[in-house]
Structure 1
Amino acid sequence: MPWDDEEARQAVLRSEEMLAGLENLPDSTAAALAEGAVGAVVELYGQCLARVIGHAAHDTGLLRRLADDDLVGHLFLVHDLHPDPVAQRAAAALEAARPRLERAGILDAELIAVEEGVARVRLSRRTGCGCSSSEPPETLVHDALVGRAPEIERVEVETAPTETPQALIAVDTLFRAVSPSCGRSG
Structure 2
Amino acid sequence: MPWEEENARRHVARTEELLSGLDTLPDNVASRRALECVEALVDLYGECLGRVMEHAASDEGGEALARRLAEDELVGHLLLVHDLHPDPADVRVRRAVEQIRPQLRSLGGDAELVETTDEAVRIRVQGGGRGCGSSPDVLEQTVRDAVGGAAPDAGRIDIETVQAAEPETLIPVDALFRSGTLTGRGAG
Q: TM-score, normalised by structure 1?
A: 0.83
Q: Tell me if structure 2 keeps the 8 A contact 1:105–1:132.
A: no
Which runs of structure 2 are paired with 1:108-123 in the superposition (5 Å)?
108-123=110-125
Q: Does 1:151 align with 2:163?
A: no
Distance 2:97 2:30 in 1: 42
The 2-side partners of 1:117 and 1:26 are apart by 38
Q: Quote the Cα distance in structure 1 between the aligned partners of 2:39 and 2:8.
A: 20
Shift of 1:103: 4.1
Deviation track 1:72-113 (CA, whole Å, cap 9, x = no partner) reads 10110110100001011111122222344234431x211112
Q: Residue 183 of structure 1 corresponds to which residue in structure 2?
A: none
In structure 2, what is the Cα distance between the partners aligned to 1:44 and 1:14? 21
Query: In the alignment, which residue of structure 2 is the partner of 1:35?
Result: 35
Cα deviation for residue 24 of structure 1 reads: 0.8
Q: 1:93 aligns with which of 96, 103, 112?
A: 96
The runs of 5 or more residues in structure 2 that have no matched partner are none
1:67-146 paired onto structure 2 within 5 Å: 67-106=70-109, 108-125=110-127, 129-133=130-134, 136-146=138-148
Structure 1 residue 61: deviation in Å?
1.5
In structure 1, how many angstroms separate the alpha carbons of the residues matched to 2:10 and 2:119? 26
- Output the CA distance in 2 between the equivalents of 1:21 and 1:100: 35
SS at match of 2:153: coil
- Give, as a single letter, the amino acid of the residue that structure 1 aligns with 2:5: D
- The two structures have a TM-score, normalised by structure 2, of 0.82
CA distance in structure 2 between the aligned counterparts of 1:10 and 1:101, rounded to whole angstroms: 26
Aligned length: 176
Give the aligned residue type for 2:66. Answer: L
Structure 1 residues not aligned, in runs of 5+: 179-186
Q: CA deviation at 1:70?
A: 0.6
Matched position secondary structure for 2:69: helix
Q: Distance in 2 between matches of 1:160 and 1:40?
A: 46
Say if 1:165 and 1:14 are closer, same or farther in 2 by CA, change over 3 A. same
- Mapped to 2, the partners of 1:26 and 1:156 lie a distance apart of 39
- Give CA-to-partner distance per residue, 1:138-158, whole Å, 9 cap, x none: 222111111111113421111
AA aligned to 1:80 is: D
- How many Å apart are 1:116 and its aligned residue? 2.6
Q: Give the structure 1 partner of residue 50 of structure 2.
A: 50
Alpha-carbon distance, 1:171 to partner: 6.8
